[in-house]
Each structure stands twice: as C-alpha cells, then as structure tokens.
Amino acid sequence: MANILIVDDEQSYRQLLTLVFEGDSHTVRTAMNGRQAIDALTEGPADIIISDVKMPDMDGIEMLRAVRSTQPDLGVVLMTAFASVETAREAFKLGADDFIQKPFDVEELKLIVKKTLEKQELIVENRAFKRAQRDRGSVKNIVGSSSKMDAIFQMIETVAEVQSTVLVTGESGTGKELVARAIHDQSDRAERPFISINCGAFTETLLESELFGYVKGAFTGANSNRKGLFEAADKGTIFLDEIGEMSPAMQVKLLRVLQERRVRPVGAHDEIPIDARVIAATNRDLRAMADEGTFREDLFYRISVIPIDLPPLRERAEDIPDLVAHFVAKFNAQSGRNVTVSPRTLQVLENYAWHGNVRELEHTIERAVALERGEEIQPERLPDHITNYNPERIKAEFDLPENGIDLTAHLDNLERTYVVEALRKVSGNQTKAAELLGMPVRSLRHLLDKHNIRSLSAQMRGGE
Ligand SMILES: Nc1ncnc2c1ncn2[C@@H]1O[C@H](COP(=O)(O)OP(=O)(O)OP(=O)(O)O)[C@@H](O)[C@H]1O
Ligand SMILES: [Mg+2]
C-alpha cells in the first residue's frame, strides 16, 4: 500500500480524502499548503501527492516545480476548482501525472491514484532492471582491488552521473578504453551507442568526414550524404582515442564543436546540433604538448574538465594476482583448458616491471596458457626477458664514477644502444624488436623518432 500526502487548504477536503484512502489501507499524511507539503517530504518519503492548486503560501504549481527538481519520480495529482486549460497545460508541462477538476467523484480520483501508482511501479522496476544490466556490464570487467584502482572505480561512478567531458590518460595498455566504456555503461546514456574512434589512425581529411559526416558532392566519391560519428553517437558517448595525435587544424575544429555543440558536415551549409558525451584518451602528456605548442592549450582545458589518470601496472603490483587469475580463466575458457599458475610463476609476474601494462600481462598469459602442456604454468613458459628480469642484477652492473655522470645523456645513449641492438637481432623487424624490448610497437616507434633512427630500421629490413 502507498504513502499518500494530501495537500489542501480546505479542511473538508483533507478530512474526506484521508477517510477515503485510509479506508483503502493506504498511509495518509496531510498538509495545508505547498510549503508544509515540502516540509512533510523532508520528514518522510511519499509515493504520491494529491494536491490542490490554489492555496495561500505556495500554491500547487509552485510546489510541483519544487518537488520535480529533486524527486522526478514522485507521483503528483493536482485538483482544482478553477480548472482552466492554461493551468492544466502548465501542470502537465511541469510533470504532473494527472489532473482532476473539483468537485469530483471520489471513485474517479481513486482510479487516477491507482493508475499513477502503477505507472510509478513500472518506472521503479525499469530503473532497477537497467541498474542490474549495468552492474553486469563492463565495470565488472575491470579487475583490481588496489587502493589506486578503488579510486578509479569511484571516479567512474561519479563521472558517469554527469555530462562533462572526461580525459582518460595513462600509459599504453592501462585500460583507458575499458574505463571509457565503463563510464558510458554506468551512465544514463547506456542504452545509446558508445562509438570509439582512433584519431591517430586517420588522415586529417578522413578524420573530419568520419567525425562530422559529409554531404553528397562534398568531394569526389561523396555519392550520398553520410552521417558523422558525432551524430551517430546521439544521446550516447563518443570516445576520441589517441587525441594527442590530432592535427592542429582538426584540433581547432574539434574545439569549436565542443564549444558550440554543433557540427558542420563537410560541404554542408548548415550546422547540426549534437548531443554526444565526449570522452577522450591519450597516452601522451597533453599538458607538456600544450606547453611545447603541439597541442592547443584551449582544447586541452576544454577536454580535461574531468581528468582520470590510470596508474601503470608496475605501481599497483597488488592487482597482478587478480589480473592473472582473470586472464587465466579467460584463456582457459577460450581454449577449453584448465591450467593454473604455479606460485613461482606468479612471483615472477609480480616482480616484473610491466611497461606494456595490463595488455602486456594479458598477452603473456595468453601465450603461456597456449604453451603450457602440463597443468600448471611454469616460469619457463614466460618470455625470457620476464623470467630473467632482475632489478638487483641491473643495479649491480653499474658503478657510479667518482666524479658523477650526466645521467640523462647516459640513459639516452643506453636506450639508443638497446634499440639498435634489438633491431639488429631481428633484422629491423619492429614488431619483433618491440617484443625483445618488452614494449608495444608504438612505444618503439616513438623511440625510433626520438633517436632519429627510423631509417636505420628500414635499412636493416631492406638488407634481409
Ligand atoms: N583493470 C583491468 N582489468 C581487466 N582487464 C584490463 C584491465 N586494464 C586493461 N585490461 C585489458 O587490457 C587490454 C588493454 O586495455 P585498453 O585497450 O583499455 O588499454 P588502453 O589504455 O586503451 O591502451 P592503448 O593506450 O594502447 O590504447 C584490454 O584487453 C583490456 O581488456
Ligand atoms: Mg586504447
């Protein structure tokens, strides 16, 4: 049975309706005007309000407005002796569930109340259903119980409730896309599309028509109108991955879109309003890029309204056992196996400094599950650079000279030497070299650029 709040300045109506609804075993409270009603709601919740419109000290319309701003689902039925079309229209606009003209047949009011309560029940059920769906969704896929990951989970939850632009940063493979999806799945945009685009994978012109769409005849090959991804993500989320790779010209265009909330398809005259939540991600230091002038500072501020920085895996080794278990289960299921991880292997995995982060760990486990013939994954199933990794030994190999060294230059030199040596070993094959160096190919390419040795890799390949 329901909690009913009856609001009327006329005592006779309060008494009559109390009798009627208590007779149907509802719980009834009364208030004499809108203000009293609001106070009553702070003292205890109600399922439905039946309120007069004309009352001194906050009328029914004002009360409805106040209630709706905090309790969008509360049932509200208005009754008035002065039912003008105007009041009725306003009442519905403010979200009244129904409206009845005084004097009325009590049976008719009962029916309206019954209908309103049923509608509410549906809303509540629907919400619970959606929440359950969300809980089953992608947040569950994010493994981690370290305090650093706890903070991330909280952040996801908070951020899901607002519409602000989010910038997810973190090294390669730390789970940026996973987090973006989780934010979407937890938000009220969950039923709408989540559209992901890698800004680094397109040329400038292609990226523009992908994001904003184009009209027929805009360029050769544009044989019909095409919607852009911003439009396709309507009421959903658009994930702009690798935003640090965006060209300066595209940065200007994106900034405008975020400011105006409108896009202009390539070749079109008119702009189209958009309603897509933007989540951007990068593994580069946009702050530093803005300082250097390679990323627009105004765009940086616009997209980093809420920053989420994912910690590298080596800074949260506590998460490794859970992640290992998660991936072993995943690859067992995929391959119909049932292997476990030996304690020694787990120790090695926990000790390693994961530069490729969770992705590298995932690949390592995938490979180990495939290679292991026994029931327990042994350390030998891990790549050598992981099994042989020993920070102590590395330390022992260096002696600091009496008069010191230029550490930055020295490390730079060492880095270059390792990269060249790795490339030499695999005849310039970048994928294999990256593997030898325990890093994603992307990072290797950054190093090739940094040390200006991209051509060297090509030469070595050529000489195969
Ligand atoms: N906390 C985690 N729990 C479970 N799986 C994870 C976690 N973090 C990352 N992963 C997995 O690791 C892989 C890499 O994650 P993701 O693609 O989200 O990383 P990223 O930060 O976007 O990487 P990149 O910068 O290279 O694009 C995915 O397969 C993802 O499912
Ligand atoms: Mg990614």
Q: Which residues contact 89 (CB under 8 A, 6 or more apart)?
A: none
Residue identifier of the C-alpha nearest atom 28 of ligand 1: 359
Strands 27-31 and 226-227, bridge-based pairing: unpaired
Is 430 touching ligand 1 by the criterion CB < 6 Å?
no
**Nearest ligand, measured from the Cα of 180:** 1
CA angle 99–100–102, rounded 5-degree value: 145
Residues 257 and 264: their CA atoms lie apart, in Å, by: 9
pTM above 0.85, yes or no: no
For residue 18, how far is its CA from the centre of ligand 1 (angstroms)? 59
Among 167, 169, 177, residue to substitute to test ligand 1 (most atoms within 8 Å of Cβ): 177
> How far are the Cα atoms of 118, 330, 331, 363 from residue 368, in angstroms, in the given order?
56, 13, 10, 8
Amino acid identity, position 233: A
- The answer to whether the CB of 78 is under 6 A from ligand 1 is no
Specify the ligand 1 atom closest to the Cα of 149: 1
Q: Is 176 in the pocket of ligand 1 (CB under 6 A)?
A: yes
Q: Check if 244 has its Cβ closer than 6 Å to any atom of ligand 1.
A: no
Name which residue sits closest to atom 30 of ligand 1, judged by CA: 175
Pocket test for ligand 1, best of 166, 358, 361, 442 (most atoms within 8 A of CB): 358
Q: Looking at ligand 1, which atom is closest to the CA of residue 177?
A: 18
- In tens digits, the chain (464 residues) has pLDDT values of 899 999 999 999 999 999 999 999 999 999 999 999 999 998 888 999 999 998 998 999 999 999 887 787 889 999 987 767 777 788 888 889 998 988 899 999 999 999 999 988 888 777 777 666 655 556 778 999 899 999 999 899 889 988 999 999 999 999 999 999 999 999 999 989 999 999 999 999 999 999 999 999 988 888 889 999 999 999 999 999 999 999 999 999 999 999 999 999 999 999 999 999 999 999 999 999 999 999 999 999 999 989 999 999 999 999 999 999 999 999 999 999 999 999 999 999 999 999 889 999 999 999 999 999 999 999 999 998 899 887 766 555 566 777 888 888 888 888 988 998 899 889 889 999 999 999 999 999 999 998 888 887 777 776 44
Q: Give the ligand 1 atom nearest the CA of 326.
A: 4
Closest atom of ligand 1 relative to the 171 alpha carbon: 25
Largest Cα span, the chain: 100
Q: Kindly give the distance from the C-alpha atom of residue 308 to the centroid of ligand 1, in angstroms, as a whole number.
A: 14
The alpha carbon of 375 is separated from its chain's Cα centroid by a whole number of angstroms, namely 38
Long-range contacts of 300-306 (CB under 8 A, 24+ apart): 302/165, 302/255, 302/258, 302/259, 303/165, 303/167, 303/243, 303/258, 303/278, 304/165, 304/167, 305/164, 305/165, 305/166, 305/167, 306/159, 306/162, 306/164, 306/165, 306/166, 306/167
Whether 357 is in the pocket of ligand 1, judged by its Cβ within 6 Å, is no
457 touches ligand 1 (CB under 6 Å): no
Tell me what pLDDT residue 136 has.
54
Distance of CA 362 from the midpoint of ligand 1 (Å): 9
Q: Is 358 a pocket residue for ligand 1 (Cβ < 6 Å)?
A: yes
| Residue 236 near ligand 1, beta carbon < 6 Å | no
Which is it for strands 194-198 and 306-309: parallel, antiparallel or unpaired? unpaired
| The pLDDT of residue 372 | 93
| 360 C-alpha to ligand 1 centroid (Å) | 9
Give the separation between CA 324 and CA 330, rounded to whole angstroms: 10
pLDDT of residue 393: 60
**Half-sphere exposure at residue 436, Cβ-oriented, CA atoms within 13 angstroms:** 16
CA distance linking residue 319 with residue 309, whole number of Å: 17
Q: How far is the CA of 251 from the centre of ligand 1 (A)?
A: 26
- What pLDDT shows up at residue 276? 96
- Identify which ligand lies nearest to the alpha carbon of 178: 1
Contacts of 455 (CB under 8 A, 6+ apart): none
Output the pLDDT for position 464. 43
- Decide: 359 in ligand 1 pocket, CB within 6 A: yes
Give yes or no for residue 311 CB within 6 A of ligand 1.
no
Q: Can you give the chain as a three-state secondary structure string?
A: CCEEEEECCCHHHHHHHHHHHHHCCCEEEEECCHHHHHHHHHHCCCCEEEEECCCCCCCHHHHHHHHHHHCCCCEEEEEECCCCHHHHHHHHHCCCCEEEECCCCHHHHHHHHHHHHHHHHHHHHHHHHHHHHHHHCHHHHCCCCCHHHHHHHHHHHHHHCCCCCEEEECCCCCCHHHHHHHHHHHCCCCCCCEEEEEHHHCCHHHHHHHHHEECCCCCCCCCCCEECHHHHCCCCEEEEECHHHCCHHHHHHHHHHHHHCEECCECCCCCEECCCEEEEEECCCHHHHHHHCCCCHHHHHHHCCEEEECCCHHHCHHHHHHHHHHHHHHHHHHHCCCCEECHHHHHHHHHCCCCCHHHHHHHHHHHHHHHCCCCEECHHHCCHHHHCCCHHHHHHCCCCCCCCCCHHHHHHHHHHHHHHHHHHHCCCCHHHHHHHCCCCHHHHHHHHHHCCCHHHHHHHHHCC
| CB of 265 shorter than 6 A to ligand 1 | no
Pocket test for ligand 1, best of 147, 169, 174 (most atoms within 8 A of CB): 174
Closest approach atom of ligand 1 to CA 440: 26
Full set of structural domains in the chain with CATH: 3-131 (3.40.50.2300), 138-311 (3.40.50.300), 314-393 (1.10.8.60), 398-462 (1.10.10)
- Asked whether 362 lines ligand 1 (CB < 6 A), one says yes
Question: Ligand 1: does its nearest atom lie under 6 Å from the Cβ of 283?
Answer: yes
For residue 300, the one-letter residue type is F
Q: How far apart are CA 166 and CA 263, in angstroms?
A: 20
Structure token digits, residue 410: 């020295």
One-letter amino acid at 161 equals E
